[in-house]
Structure 1
Amino acid sequence: MPDTATIDALVRSRAATYADKPVVIDPDTRLSYAGLDTSSRELAAVLVQAGVVKGTRVGLIMPNSVAWVRTAIAVTRIGAVLVPLSTLLTPSELRAQLRAAAVQVLIGVEEFRGHRYLDGLPNERSVDLPALQQVWPTERLAAAAAEPGPVRVLDAMIESVTPSDPLVVMFTSGSSGPPKGVLHSHGSALGAVASGLAARCITADTRLYLPMPFFWVGGLGGGVLSALLAGATLVTEEIPRPQTTLSLLESERVTLFRGWPDQAQELARHAGSADLSALRPGSLEALLPAALRSEPGARANLFGMTESFGPYCGYPADTDLPAAARGSCGKPFAGMEVRIVDPDTGLPVAAGTAGEIQLRGPHTLRGICGHSREDIFTVDGYYRTGDLGRLDDDGFLFYHGRSDDMFKVSGATVYPSEVERALRAIDGVTAAFVASVPEGDRFQVGAAVCGDGLTVEWLREQARTLLSAFKVPTVWLLVAGPDAVPRGPTGKVDKRRLRELLTAVSASDPVNQGAGP
């Protein structure tokens, strides 16, 4: 079996090659490749003693840190299935994801940024969480790991893990709103990450800073597993803030900064005299000196999704695209078949014609929790992405948006139907309609709401208890009734006109939107 086919094989191989080299660094801790091998194995022994076995679904909710990496590696080395959980989740959202993934053991911090995750969760099976058997605060797990006992079956368990075994359930919102748990195997996830390393400019010499949370595929695949596969060093922190991030970039001589362009621009405004001379092309360009930047639009944006375990399409991040391919996402990576089909007929379309993007190959998802294979794939094995795009004659992919109404806020997916459902649960709300509101090159969440005695302040306060922060509307419009919302000839809400209405409200009163028509 190749030395990158499973998490255990990968960790042991890299420890043998890069023993004393740091694999992950946070502001308080540095962990070497050899240290990761040893400490994750000791932690794995504790998990086995607690009853975790191959196939056990283990939820993990904690911020980015060395401890997150060590715990995730320990879980997956023994063939248990990692379920990374967002630190942004409200209690109701957390319970929904625990149910959807049938999490059996939950490991988590008790509190982070005002969220208390473990309060009220049963430490055994219950009616609403029938799979959950144990809840382990991270402090308890760390104490147990300090004095691990011998586990005779540990080696046998580790050796039984194969590339086709499930590795992780990553959550992404479904098109109808409920959480969607996407299942990847060791082989599909590691293969997907390996296929994009060159495009991301990650090598053994890279010192990578990536602000994305590890509970997203961008953080786990683009950060943790990318570093392991390349033999690189990953630098992380719990809460990215301009001054602390700049300090890390400078002190750790970070060579590659990947992430969100708006964060890079914010850091550039605060950079002052910070020494960022170690950064190399391939980093977000706002932090690079002018001599190392490309022409606007000359570089591709990596393109992917949770179902492909991150980018499946791209172009070397330090290389300009051919002139004819400017504006594209690059080309599909090795191991991924991409076709464009007519959304109505499902038949492939000619090069240059826009349609729905479908994916097939060894790096695509293995399944979705609660769904049959027939629900997910076409009869010939393609995954229907819901994205729209076109392939040109040279194989470059141009993205045309979504076939539904989803949009991104700070890199996180928002589905209007999910937000609408939460808003309708607020006392006094009789109807709610949600759409994206452009703000420069980004989006805000906008909501038109009707009901009795409502105020924007009340709605905002209640929404914060029901939704993750990035899903809470920032543009509000109070309307007299559902008929005041623009509709099309069939009676359905006209989302385009609703978006225009909310955009006008945002432009006229961006701070505190009030009563409307």
Structure 2
Amino acid sequence: MSTQTPDVTTRAAIATGPPLAEEPGLGPLTLPGFLAEVAEKYGDREALVFHAPDGVTRWTYTELRERATMVARALRACGVGKDSRVGVLMTNRPEWLAAVFGIGMAGGVAVTLSTFSTPSELDHLLRVSGVSVLLFERTVAKRDFAAVLTELEPAIGFSTPGELRSAEYPFLRHLSMIGEPVRGGVIEGWAGFLARGWSEPAELVEATAAAVTPSDTAVVFFSSGTTSKPKGIRSAHRGVAVQMWRFRRMYGFGPDDTVRCWTANGFFWSGNFGMALGATLAAGGSLVLQPTFDAPEALALMQSERVTFPVAWPHQWAQLEAAPNWAATDLSTLRYVDRSLPAATHPTVSTTYTEPGAAYGSTETFTITTCFPANTPDDVIAGSSGEPLPGVTVKIVDPLTGAILSRGESGEIGIKGPTLMLGYLGTPLDETLDAEGFFRTGDGGYLDDAGRLHWEGRLTDIIKTGGANVSPLEIDEALTAHPLVKVARTVGVPHETLGELVVACVIPHPDTSPTPEDLHAFLRERLASYKVPREVLFFADTDFELTGSAKIKTADLRELAGERLRA
């Protein structure tokens, strides 16, 4: 259990886990060091498998490191060095792993970009991140990112590879792409990009990889926050590596276990990076990659690749259970399946366990800060979100004054620890952390007498849907740009599988009659698909109750929207 801060009289709401140095199972604390360790230990084991229309790709751990080295050599040839930012815009595929590890080996910073990005969102991400190289997949679903990039910056269609000069994206110099080649212009094919590295000695890559330190910036992940645009979050190598090793321990993977992990959630989300990619590779398992989620295809992969460890969000499990091939699929190899999931009741599944689901974390802490390991008894969890992990300190404060509350009192959760971000892009750290170095999360909760954290929900208006954070402000800004929309307020309504349903509440301009279909089409051109409201509800001015400052009461509007949907 966690070590409580001594305070017998007030029982202050602050709890600290054991020292990080005492955490078992940690290996090297850089991405290059992590890859070197698992490649040496697991060598010829299969690290990943990828089914594509043109065939099946299987890489061993040795091959994964070799491919990452090739990327690192090519990046060096493109001028990437210490702290250079390199964007990765790909679905879950072998090149994603080679790129992110290769960037680390070259001393650079991997900027993971969502493949759900619309043109305007990608424009924002490129401007904010300041990447000098962009490695991307040309076609994702129905979106052609080569065409999108050329539309955003016409010079891309006229420059030659490696010679982009862009006033729109002044740091961007090089673009390399997986997919059907583009004739002319600055976008280079993947084979041509890798060929650039032939002149770079492999021993120099080994030297740069060895020179990376745990405190160096490793990655930038984006997360919706209280502002309308996604915020870039810088994480150190130590924070990322700690969580990769840690998730292996949390899931209870031993040296002799067969871990074959299927997932279709993007690795550009920190949770999936840590839970699926990190835990699997740390345990010497194999990643069964699905680039975009398709339920029948996912079930076929689980059967053919003998998956033991499926990682999906609740709404995906609902789709899997509803798939036409659900009952006929042989899922007998599944082993690491939580007893609460639909798969636990599948007729072919005989082994289940309790996942480390009693946990709390965020992208700002590169996933979990409190947790209990798999198979922890219910009476130990006691309905909580876990206890502080090694090196982590949790406090509960008054949201207005910042004063530490007492055990059992609800307030705002503050976190400090070894995986805490280095900061937001473009924001001074002292504007993000409090005077004691804690990150004030905007989440509500309390600590019980045993030092367990109980999460009670958001104090801010951020919507958690299908495992992703969505900013209502971002949706509202997009909606109010529609000529027929007078006022727009987006809320999250509780939902059984998604967690929260994104619902847009709209007051149209007088004498206009927009339809939900009109607004959905308008938003799909401007927002990633998971941000587009599932429901659009129309209201009159008198339906919105205003506060004295003329702001709509979110709690009241959420309740009103829920009533409308239930009706």
TM-score w.r.t. the length of structure 2 is: 0.84
Q: Secondary structure of 1:493's match?
A: coil
SS of equivalent residue, structure 1 residue 467: coil
Q: Check 1:195–1:333 CA distance in 2 against 1; reply closer, same or farther (3 A cut).
A: farther
What are the within-5 Å matches in structure 2 for residues 377-456 of structure 1? 377-440=433-496, 442-449=499-506, 450-452=508-510, 453-456=512-515
Residue 233 of structure 1: CA displacement?
1.8
Q: Deviations over 1:223-268 (max 9, x none)?
A: 2232232322222211222221112212222212233133224323
Aligned counterpart, 2:20: none
Match of 2:291 in 1: 238
Deviations 1:444-484 (A, max 9, x none): 22222222534122212111111111211222223344x54
Residue matched to 2:4: none
SS of 2:488 mapped into structure 1: strand
Residues 299 and 193 of structure 1: CA distance in aligned 2, closer, same or farther (over 3 Å): closer
The C-alpha deviation readout for 1:97-136, integer Å capped at 9, x for no partner, is 1111112211112221122223324443433322222222
Whether 1:135 aligns to 2:166 is no
Distance in 1, matches of 2:352 and 2:72, equals: 45
Instruction: Please list the CA deviations of residues 121-172 of structure 1 after superposition, one character each: whole Å capped at 9, or x if unmatched.
Output: 4443433322222222225123432674131443332232111111000000
Task: State the SS of the aligned residue for 1:34.
Answer: helix
Residue in 1 aligned with 2:218? 167
Which one-letter code corresponds to 1:151 in the other structure?
Answer: E
2-side partners of 1:36 and 1:267: how far apart?
30
- 1:22 aligns with 46
What count of residue pairs does the alignment treat as equivalent? 503
Does 1:186 find its partner at 2:237? Answer: yes
Q: Could you say if the C-alpha distance between residues 119 and 111 of structure 1 is closer, same or farther in structure 2, counting changes exceeding 3 Å?
A: farther
AA aligned opposite 1:60: V
> Is 1:362 paired with 2:418?
yes
Q: Indicate yes or no: 2:189 matched with 1:149.
A: no
Instruction: Go from structure 1 to structure 2 and tell me whether the alpha carbon gap of 1:480 and 1:264 turns closer, same or farther (over 3 Å shift).
Output: closer
SS in 2 for 1:79: coil
Partners of 1:187 and 1:363 within 8 A in 2: yes
Q: Is the 8 A contact 1:202 1:232 kept in 2?
A: no
Asked whether the equivalents of residues 102 and 132 of structure 1 are also in contact (C-alpha less than 8 Å), the reply is: yes
Q: Does 1:225 align with 2:225?
A: no
Partner of 2:399: 343
Deviations 1:473-514 (A, max 9, x none): 222223344x54222344321212212222233233xxxxxx
- Give the Cα separation in 2 of the matches to 1:505 and 1:227: 44
Secondary structure in structure 1 of the residue aligned to 2:525? helix
Change (3 A) 1:409 1:331: same
- Which amino acid in 1 is paired with 2:377? D
In the alignment, does 2:228 pair up with 1:177? yes
Asked if the contact 1:162/1:186 (under 8 Å) is kept, the reply is: yes
The answer to whether the Cα contact below 8 Å between 1:338 and 1:358 also exists between their aligned partners in 2 is yes
Q: 2:444–2:456: 8 Å Cα contact kept in structure 1?
A: yes
Q: For the residues of structure 2 that align with 1:454 and 1:461, how far apart are their CA atoms?
A: 15
Match of 2:553 in 1: 494
Residues 432 and 71 from structure 1, CA distance in 2 versus in 1: closer, same or farther, beyond 3 angstroms?
same
Instruction: Determine if the alignment matches structure 1 residue 251 to structure 2 residue 307.
Output: no
8 Å contact from structure 1 (residues 193, 310) kept in 2: no
Deviations 1:248-302 (A, max 9, x none): 212222212233133224323442132212222454632124865579xx97433
Secondary structure of residue in 2 paired with 1:400:
strand
- Give the distance between the partners of 1:109 and 1:420, measured in 2 at CA: 30
Q: Which one-letter code corresponds to 1:137 in the other structure?
A: M
Letter in 1 for 2:225: G
User: Identical aligned pairs, as a percentage?
Assistant: 31
Report the 3-state secondary structure (helix = DSSP H, G, I; strand = E; otherwise coil) of the residue aligned with 1:198.
Answer: helix
C-alpha distance in 2, partners of 1:451/1:130? 40
Whether the 8 Å contact between 1:308 and 1:365 is mirrored in structure 2 is yes
Alpha-carbon offset, residue 437 of structure 1: 2.4
What is the alpha-carbon distance in structure 2 between the residues aligned to residue 299 and residue 43 of structure 1?
Answer: 34
Q: Against the structure 1 CA distance between its residues 68 and 281, is the aligned structure 2 distance closer, same or farther, given a 3 Å change threshold?
A: closer
Q: How does 1:78-93 map to 2 (within 5 A)?
A: 78-93=106-121
Contact preservation (8 Å) 2:118, 2:525 = yes
The match for 2:331 among 262, 276, 280 is 276
- Report what 2:131 is aligned to: 103
Encode CA deviations 1:302-323: one digit per residue, 9 max, x unaligned. 3211011112222223333216
Letter of the aligned partner of 1:224 in structure 2?
L
Alignment check: 8 A CA contact 1:315 1:321 kept: no
TM-score, scaled to structure 1: 0.91
Q: Equivalent residue for 1:479?
A: 539
* Secondary structure, counterpart of 1:357 in structure 2: strand
Alignment-mate amino acid for residue 247 of structure 1: A
Matched, 1:209 2:249: no
- Between the aligned partners of 2:561 and 2:223, the Cα distance in structure 1 is 26
Q: Which one is further off, 41-50 or 221-230? A: 221-230
Are 1:126 and 2:182 counterparts? no
1:40 corresponds to 2:68 = yes
Deviation at 1:416, TM superposition (A): 1.2
CA distance 1:125–1:347, change in 2 (3 Å): farther
Tell me how far 1:433 sits from its aligned partner.
1.5
Query: Partner amino acid for 1:129?
Result: Y
Q: Give 1:8's aligned amino acid.
A: P
Cα distance, 1:385 vs structure 2: 0.9
Structure 2 contact 73–106 (Cα < 8 Å) conserved = no
Partners in 2 of 1:36 and 1:378 — Cα distance? Answer: 41
Q: Name the CA distance, whole Å, in 1 between partners of 2:269 and 2:327.
A: 31
Structure 2 counterpart of 1:194, one-letter code: W
The corresponding residue for 2:19 is none
Q: Does 1 or 2 have the higher relative contact order (CA < 8 Å, sep 6+)? A: 2
Name the SS for the 1:359 alignment partner.
strand
Q: Which moved more, 1:328-337 or 1:204-213?
A: 204-213
Preserved CA contact (<8 Å) 2:74 2:195: no
SS in 2 for 1:413: strand
Q: Distance in 1 between matches of 2:211 and 2:356?
A: 43
After the TM superposition, which of the residue ranges 276-285 and 493-502 deviates more from structure 2?
A: 276-285
Corresponding residue SS for 1:149: helix
Contact kept in structure 2, 1:476 and 1:502, CA below 8 Å: no
1:462 partner SS: helix
Segments of 5+ residues of structure 2 without an aligned counterpart are: 1-25, 157-163, 180-188
When the two chains are superposed, the root-mean-square deviation of aligned CA atoms in Å is: 2.3
